[in-house]
Structure 1
Amino acid sequence: MVDAILAVAMAAGGCVAGQQLHPDGWVRFDATAYLLTCALSLPLALRRRAPVPVLIASGSMYTVYLAAGYQPSLNFWAPVIALVTLAGQRPPRSAAMGAVFVAAVVAFSGMRGRLGPALVLAQAVLVPVVAVVIGDAVRRLAQRNRQLVLLTARLEREQEERARRAIVDERVRIARELHDVVAHHMSVITVQVGLASYVFDSDPRAARAALDVIGDAGRDALDEMRRLLSLLRVDFDEDGGEGQRADGVGDIDGVGAVGAVGGVDGVGGVGGVDGAADPMPGLDRLADLAERMSAVGVTVDLTTEGAPRHLAPGLELCVYRIVQEALTNVVKHAGTPRADVRIRHLSDRLSVSIANDGPGRDAARPRVGSGTGHGLIGMHERAKILGGTLSAGERPEGGFRVHLTLPFDAEAGAGT
């Protein structure tokens, strides 16, 4: 549309100027002049689609126009505009060839306009050079714009990929948390159910104690599941109000909103929960964890060395989860009634060791990175995220040992 308007404007301007300006010595502007003016101006409507043919057509028709004895007037600019377009559309070699052609046309125009040789030469050199420079600048600008468009599209794709990767990472993290929670508490519940069933008639008191442990483990599992569900909560909606669950779960008043079960006031005396997540488990919960393991039949010796210091929640959660997973593996695989947990606060790092002295079952212990189990692999990933190291394997004196080392300088990034 722009090119068509330009072509019509050039043709109209050339016709009006030729009709109005007819000094002595020039052929009067007649019907042939109108046709030639339109013939050299109207091809500009196709200047972007076919720059070379348009340049040849405009320059040739302008040469015929001049040879017929008509005054140059505004028709002089049609081949110049075509050259600017050619330089902006094609490589420099094509632009140079077009500049030579336009230089000849401009020189002929100067001679027909009765200019001096110096002025004719200057005009024949400067006009094509300026046109090529302008066209080349337009071409370079168009190339930059295209590159910016491609770069913008690439950045958008990378941002979408990073967003998808972040979602996948978050799902992996939640899955790892779910594994830790379910594996630990279900192991405790399974063992206690078996114990309660075994002593139900012979020792009602022991059976009741086992049921109490089952209730505590179930409530702890529910609390931690609520905490995990809070990760899926959208903090604010578009109107600034409190958002809904990303997975459509809704509020978690108690456990009721999940499947519209209702409150859990009658389940172990938990009562309704208003959706506010409890603090994430940390080092202060290890004693409770050891007590629950003792109820299962595994004595846990918990030892802390060094001056305790304030740790980031993420670092404490990492330690708690790794100790929890290691003790769960002791219950499931070690076949030993004893485990030792040693926490050492060193000057620049935290050292955690979980060991048992039982023979265990080698086939049931997946090695870190083996891909045959999620427990030790998840422990290894947790340590790696916080810049720490984790090793797991057989002890020379027998049993199995998991050793975790976390640098204190990872605390800044440990809040997840």
Structure 2
Amino acid sequence: MGTSIRNRIERRIPYPLVFQGVIALVLILTPISGSTMPNAGNRDYWMMCLLIGMHLLTTLTIPARRMPRWGQLFYLTLQVGSSALAQALFPAPLFDYVYLVIVLQTLVLFPPWLVLSFALGVWAIWSGGVMMATASVLEWVQSNLALAFPATCAIIAAIIYLRQHRRSEQAQQMLQQMQQRYDSLSTALREMQQMVALEERRRLAQMLTNEVQAALARTEQTIATALGQAQNNLTWLQSTITQTRDSAGAAVDRLRSAITMLRKNEDADQPLTAPILALNIASPFDELVIASQPYRILSWVLPIIFIALSLLVTLTQHALTPDLLFALLLLDSLLLLAYIYTQRARHPLLLQIGLTGQTLAVMALAIMTQALPILLGLLLVLWQIALRLPLAQIIIFLAGASAMIGLLLVRTQSLALDANSLLIATVAAVTVAGPLLLARRQLERRHQAELRAALLASEIEQQTAQERAFAVAAERSRLAREFHDDLGSRLMLINLQLQLAEDLINESSDEALAQLQISRDHLRAAWRSVLAVADAELPLDGPSLRGALEDLVAQSRQSMNSVLDLHIRATLEDLSPAAACTIYRSVQEGLTNACKHARPTHINIAVQEEVAQISVTIWNDTQPNTDQPHQPSNSGSYGLLGLRERAEALGGRCEAGPLAEGGFRLRLVLPVEGERHE
């Protein structure tokens, strides 16, 4: 709930929330800081309040980030001009920070080179205003020194926050994209399944289809040679037919090995390609708000800047004496030692001890020199607190530090702290600590978003890999079924016809040649079957099913010494191509198994419509086959396995087995969708 409210607020305000808060705080407290000055309440004071109010209103309402670059420059130049006019009318103490928040806006809007140029221009205008207001070079120098350290800390803190804010926004956008991909995963997976099936089909078509086609080509070549030489050499024809049978047998063996490989899902060549929905997540995640190298640089730059500024501030207010110089060097050395100790401390208690030592050193410097700007050195302590302590410990430390500072001020020579000094310290603390604390929050949000995106990516990748495996397995099963049911049946018929041709060669060469020619026609049909399987074509539909079944039975009668009866008592014209193909394959499988495993004298095929279903029954009587033992159950048959898969995919069932009264029966039952009209 809180996150959604914050997101809605950030979409409506011109700047990031922490920047908008700092700007509003400075512009609200500036008139308040002037209310304690002499002549407060006169016309100039109210004019200053009006200009500052207009400044606040424009920063809250004008979408500066959506303006063109020239518009942004003009907009910020107007802010600088109105601030300079308000300062000339009534120079409230917090005007230094009004100029500072204008510079902070440039960090959001401009590239670095333009930020630097604009910041120098703002400093020149502010510096000129201070010079005209004080008419003293010494006061001008003191004002610059007083503002230098807090301005440096505030600008660096703002840069850190902006970096984390932008990266957090990028992580949130990445998370939204991943969430959208995850929400549309089902559609993407369907597209991926089609893509994977097509890739696997092409690969297997090259690997397997070419090998099977090569075997068929050799068989077709021997048949063509046999037909070409038949009239000249009958003895040679007999040997050629034998070679042709061997070649056809080799094609059958190659087909069986291909089907076995497909059913066992063995890969022969190349691995699968990478998932199409994978996402690259940056890793490892940052552990610090600031990267390690900039953090090390800032760890030494900030204390050195403060020590140098404290020496300069002291020199502008006191004459340099050996005792003062010794005391300054001693306290600065103690501050630096406490700072080094704090940087190396890892335990929270030791860290707080080091921070306490730094606080005492800064307070001692301020009390000894009676220079209020040195108290802003506590920003150095606040910087470390905001970066390294959790929120609960920050609150505890600040409460303890406040009590300690108050006790020191009471027990020692007190500093002349007034309301304006407290306001300046408050604004400086918020300007520095606010962006740093929110930068840590942005870092946590980014880590959470990246972790969530990584989890979504992992889940998408896992589901994609599973669907790829399912798609590959389904395509392999399809190829195995089609090869076995169609091409296997045709090769079996070709083998029977070649055997018949070999048996007839001595009795009637004309009949043997006729069988050889039929074998060649079936072989060419097998060629077309291989191509159809590779192209994933469904060769049948409802209107063509009856004729296809009659042709299949007619071809089988030519190759088998059996009585074949076909009875169709069903309306087939409105069947889907998948159902028509399944019915055809079941009849084809029944005939193939009967020829392969039995010597039937009678085969009966019945296709009939029952209540909301169509059944196909293939029955044959059985006589022992001495060459190939009959396998009644066919439990290990890839053909029956493929039929069961086809039937289950259509919501039906397939049963096969020997009968108690003798013979073997294959029965396929498919549901009929909708009503049939005779």
Q: TM-score if structure 2 supplies the norm length? A: 0.44
2:661 to 380, 388, 397: 397
Question: Is 1:194 the counterpart of 2:480 in the alignment?
Answer: no
User: Structure 1 residues 108, 135: closer, same or farther in 2, change over 3 A?
Assistant: farther
User: Structure 1 residues 67, 346: closer, same or farther in 2, change over 3 A?
Assistant: same
Task: Please report how far the alpha carbon of residue 388 of structure 1 lies from its aligned counterpart in structure 2 after TM superposition.
Answer: 1.8
Specify the code of the residue in structure 2 equivalent to 1:100.
I
Which shifted more, 50-59 or 319-328? Answer: 50-59
Specify the code of the residue in structure 1 equivalent to 2:400.
A
Greater helix fraction, Structure 1 or Structure 2: 2
2:566 corresponds to: 302
Gaps of 5+ in 2: 1-292, 319-323, 367-371, 410-414
2:579 corresponds to: 315
In structure 2, what is the Cα distance between the partners aligned to 1:74 and 1:300?
106
1:280 to 521, 531, 539: 539
Contact preservation (8 Å) 1:355, 1:399: yes
Q: Which has the larger radius of gyration?
A: 2
User: Structure 1 residues 140, 201: closer, same or farther in 2, change over 3 A?
Assistant: same
1:265 corresponds to: none
5 Å-filtered alignment, 1:3-18, equals 3-8=295-300, 10-11=302-303, 14-15=306-307, 18=310
Q: Deviations over 1:238-271 (max 9, x none)?
A: xxxxxxxxxxxxxxxxxxxxxxxxxxxxxxxxxx
In structure 2, what is the Cα distance between the partners aligned to 1:307 and 1:36?
102
Report SS of the residue matched to 2:662: coil
Task: Please report how far the alpha carbon of residue 178 of structure 1 lies from its aligned counterpart in structure 2 after TM superposition.
Answer: 1.7
In structure 1, what is the Cα distance between the partners aligned to 2:632 and 2:340?
80
2:620 to 356, 361, 364: 356
Q: Deviations over 1:165-197 (max 9, x none)?
A: 422332232123222234212211111111111
Task: Please report how far the alpha carbon of residue 200 of structure 1 lies from its aligned counterpart in structure 2 after TM superposition.
Answer: 0.8
User: Structure 1 residues 66, 309: closer, same or farther in 2, change over 3 A?
Assistant: same
User: Structure 1 residues 18, 226: closer, same or farther in 2, change over 3 A?
Assistant: same
User: Structure 1 residues 13, 345: closer, same or farther in 2, change over 3 A?
Assistant: farther
Question: Is 1:291 the counterpart of 2:593 in the alignment?
Answer: no
Contact preservation (8 Å) 1:43, 1:57: no
Task: Please report how far the alpha carbon of residue 64 of structure 1 lies from its aligned counterpart in structure 2 after TM superposition.
Answer: 3.0
Contact preservation (8 Å) 1:303, 1:343: yes
Report SS of the residue matched to 1:336: coil
Task: Please report how far the alpha carbon of residue 43 of structure 1 lies from its aligned counterpart in structure 2 after TM superposition.
Answer: 8.1
1:104 to 384, 397, 400: 400
User: Structure 1 residues 85, 69: closer, same or farther in 2, change over 3 A?
Assistant: closer
Contact preservation (8 Å) 1:39, 1:58: no
Specify the code of the residue in structure 2 equivalent to 1:7.
S
Question: Is 1:373 the counterpart of 2:637 in the alignment?
Answer: yes
Specify the code of the residue in structure 1 equivalent to 2:630.
A
In structure 2, what is the Cα distance between the partners aligned to 1:312 and 1:46?
77
2:465 corresponds to: 160
Q: Deviations over 1:60-96 (max 9, x none)?
A: 3422323423356444344444444446xxxxxx764
Question: Is 1:76 the counterpart of 2:368 in the alignment?
Answer: no
Contact preservation (8 Å) 1:306, 1:345: yes
User: Structure 1 residues 69, 46: closer, same or farther in 2, change over 3 A?
Assistant: closer
Specify the code of the residue in structure 2 equivalent to 1:76.
L
User: Structure 1 residues 330, 78: closer, same or farther in 2, change over 3 A?
Assistant: farther
Q: Deviations over 1:350-372 (max 9, x none)?
A: 3222222335679633646x4x3
Aligned residues: 347
User: Structure 1 residues 403, 139: closer, same or farther in 2, change over 3 A?
Assistant: same
Which shifted more, 181-190 or 57-66? Answer: 57-66
Gaps of 5+ in 1: 88-93, 232-276, 411-416
Contact preservation (8 Å) 2:335, 2:361: yes
2:355 corresponds to: 59
User: Structure 1 residues 104, 305: closer, same or farther in 2, change over 3 A?
Assistant: same
Contact preservation (8 Å) 1:388, 1:406: yes
Structure having greater relative contact order (Cα 8 Å, sep ≥ 6)? 2
In structure 2, what is the Cα distance between the partners aligned to 1:44 and 1:2?
18
